[in-house]
Amino acid sequence: MIKKSLLLLSSGIFLSAITAKSLDYAFIKDLYFNFVSIVAGLILGAVGVFTSSITIIYTYINKKHQNGDIPLEKKLHLNQIAKDISFEIKENTLYTIYFYCTGLLFVVLQNTDIPIIEWPFKPEYTYLSKKLIYGIIIFTCIPSMILTTVDTINAMFKLQEVGDL
């Protein structure tokens, strides 16, 4: 997990450093609102569909046990696997929402000038401009959302495998 976090942070720094001078606010805003909003919406929709599938799998496992088709140990094992997968899907969905909201906040704040808050780093003395730091945060949120999306899809395929057992 630490390796993934460092990889995401370094990719955010790299993308933001490359594009700090050439990207304008409109591109980042369009990228974030178009691409990232669609990805977040698709994940939330898929989770809604698979939440009902989890309930169907639980019901199926319990009926198979009541009919005597599977022993109690296997029923408990399958229920635990389904519970673990549903917990993983829930966590990934929440991470997706957190990353989306964080990125959205910094997209909005990127061009907002709040008079009482002064940026501590002067751009003429250091490379740490407000645009660069906000870009790092935004460009770290985007790959993080993509990775949680991939992890959610993998968990959904594992859930399908439980249903096939």
pTM of the model: 0.73
Phi-psi region of 119 (alpha: psi -120 to 50; beta: other; left: phi over 0): beta
Per-residue pLDDT tens digits for 40-52: 787 777 777 777 7
User: At residue 135, does pLDDT exceed 60?
Assistant: yes
Distance CA 64, CA 161 (A): 16
**Could you report the per-residue pLDDT of 80-95, keeping only the tens digit for each?**
888 888 888 888 888 8
Confidence of residue 18 (pLDDT cuts 50, 70, 90): low
Q: How far is the C-alpha of 97 from the C-alpha of 116, rounded, in Å?
A: 29
